Amino acid sequence: MIINSIGVVDTATQRPCTHFDERPSGEEISLLVIHNISLPAGEFDTPFVDDLFMGNIDCHAHPSFSDLQGLRVSAHCFIKRTGEIVQYVPFSKCAWHAGKSEFLGRERCNDFSIGIELEGTDTSGYTQMQYNALQSLTKLLMNNYPAITKARIVGHCDIAPGRKTDPGESFDWQHYFAALF
C-alpha cells in the first residue's frame, strides 16, 4: 500500500467526490480523526453511506434520512465491515468530516486533519478486518505525514465534544494502538 504525491492510496477503491476544499496554503497535515457512520443507523452494507458522500442520497429512501436533505459531507476514507477501504477525497484536500471542531485550541480541524470513517455505531463492535485496515492505513499515514503522532490521533468526540460521540464506546483504542506503537 502506498500514497501517491496527491494523497491517493493505491489499494483503496476510489470514489472521487466533490465535497472537499483546498487545504490552506502551507498547511501541514497533523491530525487523524476516527469517526463512525452507518445509514440507516445500525444497518451495514447498504449503499447509503456512499450515496451521502457522493452527494446523491435519496432522502426519501428511509424516514431517518430526512435530516440529510442538503447535507454535504465526506471523509477521506471509509472502512467497510469487510476491511475494504474506499477513498473519497485525496489526503492533500480538506474533506468535510469534522464540522465545527477544535483541537488544542485550534478550530477548523478539517484544514489540518485526515478523516477516516468506520462502518459502525458507537455501541456495536468493529470487526477485526476493520482494525487491520485502519492500523495499516494509520501506519501509512504516519509515515507520509510525520506530524501525525499518537497524541494527534483522536475520535470525532474529542474535537467536537457534546456534539459528537463517535467512534464510541465500542471502539477499542488499546487494541488499535497496540499494533501501531
Query: Residue 172, Cα to own-chain centre: how many angstroms?
Result: 16
Identified catalytic residue from 102, 117, 119, 169? 117
What is the dihedral sign for C-alpha 140, 143, 147, 152?
positive
Instruction: Give the integer Cα–Cα distance in Å for 19 and 96.
Output: 6
How many angstroms separate the CA atoms of 108 and 42, rounded? 29
Largest CA distance in the chain: 45
- Residue 148 and residue 29 in contact, taking contact as beta carbons nearer than 8 Å: yes
- What gap in Å lies between CA 89 and CA 162, rounded to an integer? 27
Instruction: Clarify whether 102 is annotated catalytic.
Output: no
What positions carry a catalytic annotation? 117
